[in-house]
Structure 1
Amino acid sequence: MNQSKEIIASVVSAAHEVRNEQRTLEYSDQQVLVKVERGGICGSDIHYFQHGRAGMSVLKQPMIIGHEFVGRIAGAPAGSGLRVGQAVAVNPSQPCNHCQLCLEGKQNLCREMRFMGSAQFFPHVNGGFANYVAVNAFQCVPYADDADARVIAFAEPLAVAIHAIRQAGDLVGKKVLVTGSGPIGCLVIAAALAAGAAEIVATDMSERCRKLAQQMGATAAVDPTDQQITAKWQENGGYFDICFEASGAAAAIASTVGFTRPKGRIVQLGMGAASTEFPLGPLLVKEIELAGSFRFIHEFETAVRWLESGRINPLPLLSAEFPQQQLVEALETASDKNLAAKVQLVFA
Structure 2
Amino acid sequence: MSFSEKEITCNACFVHGEGDIHFEPHQVKLAEGEILVKVTCGGICGSDVHYYQHGRAGMSVLHHPMIIGHEFVGKVCEVNSDDERFCVGQPVVVNPSRPCNECPECLTGHQNLCQSMRFMGSAQFNPHVNGGFSEYVAVKPEQCLPYSEQVSPKVMAFSEPLSVAIHAVNVAGQLTGKKVLVIGAGPIGCLILAAAKCAGASIVVASDLSQRCRELASQMGASTVFDPTDDSQVSYYQNNRGYFDVVFEASGASAAIASTVDFTHPNGVIVQIGMGASPMTWPVSSMLAKEISFKGSFRFVHEFATSVQWLEQGRVDPTPLISAEFSPDQVQEALITAGNKEISSKVLINFE
Fold shared per TM-score above 0.5: yes
Partner of 1:11: 14
Conserved 8 A contact 1:186-1:213: yes
Residue by residue over 1:39-71, the C-alpha shift from the partner in whole angstroms, topping out at 9 and shown as x without a partner, is 000000000010000000000000000000000
Partner of 1:291: 295
Residue by residue over 1:145-181, the C-alpha shift from the partner in whole angstroms, topping out at 9 and shown as x without a partner, is 1111110000000000000000011111100000000
Residue 166, structure 1, aligned to residue 176, structure 2: no
Give the Cα separation in 1 of the matches to 2:300 and 2:223: 26
Partner of 2:256: 252
Give the ranges of 4+ consecutive aligned residues of structure 1 lying more than 2 Å apart after TM superposition.
Answer: none
The correspondence for 1:61, drawn from 64, 86, 96, is 64
The correspondence for 2:138, drawn from 134, 137, 140, is 134
Conserved 8 A contact 1:165-1:191: yes
Q: Secondary structure at the match of 2:317?
A: coil
Residue 71, structure 1, aligned to residue 74, structure 2: yes
CA RMSD of aligned residues (A): 0.7
Partner of 1:261: 265
Give the deviation of 1:331 after TM superposition.
0.7
1:1-348 equivalence runs, <5 A: 1-76=4-79, 77-348=81-352
Residue by residue over 1:56-115, the C-alpha shift from the partner in whole angstroms, topping out at 9 and shown as x without a partner, is 000000000000000000111222411110000000000000111100000000000000
Q: Which amino acid aligns with 2:139?
A: V
Give the deviation of 1:274 after TM superposition.
2.7
Give the Cα separation in 2 of the matches to 1:71 and 1:43: 21
Q: Which amino acid aligns with 1:32?
A: I
Query: 165-174 vs 269-278, which deviates more?
Result: 269-278
**Structure 2, unaligned runs of 5 or more:** none
Give the Cα separation in 2 of the matches to 1:88 and 1:2: 22
Give the Cα separation in 1 of the matches to 2:216 and 2:133: 27
Identity percentage over the alignment?
A: 56
Give the deviation of 1:343 after TM superposition.
0.4
Residue by residue over 1:214-238, the C-alpha shift from the partner in whole angstroms, topping out at 9 and shown as x without a partner, is 1001111111011111112221111
Residue by residue over 1:185-230, the C-alpha shift from the partner in whole angstroms, topping out at 9 and shown as x without a partner, is 0000100011111111111000000000010011111110111111
Q: Which amino acid aligns with 2:123?
A: A
Give the Cα separation in 2 of the matches to 1:2 and 1:78: 14
Give the deviation of 1:275 after TM superposition.
2.2
Residue by residue over 1:18-58, the C-alpha shift from the partner in whole angstroms, topping out at 9 and shown as x without a partner, is 00110111121211100000100000000001000000000
Count of equivalent residues: 348
Residue by residue over 1:323-344, the C-alpha shift from the partner in whole angstroms, topping out at 9 and shown as x without a partner, is 1111111111111111110000
**Structure 1, unaligned runs of 5 or more:** none
Conserved 8 A contact 2:83-2:141: no
Query: 203-212 vs 269-278, which deviates more?
Result: 269-278
Conserved 8 A contact 1:2-1:29: yes
Cα 1:80–1:277, aligned 2, differ >3 Å: closer, same or farther?
farther
Q: Secondary structure at the match of 1:10?
A: strand
Q: Which amino acid aligns with 1:339?
A: I
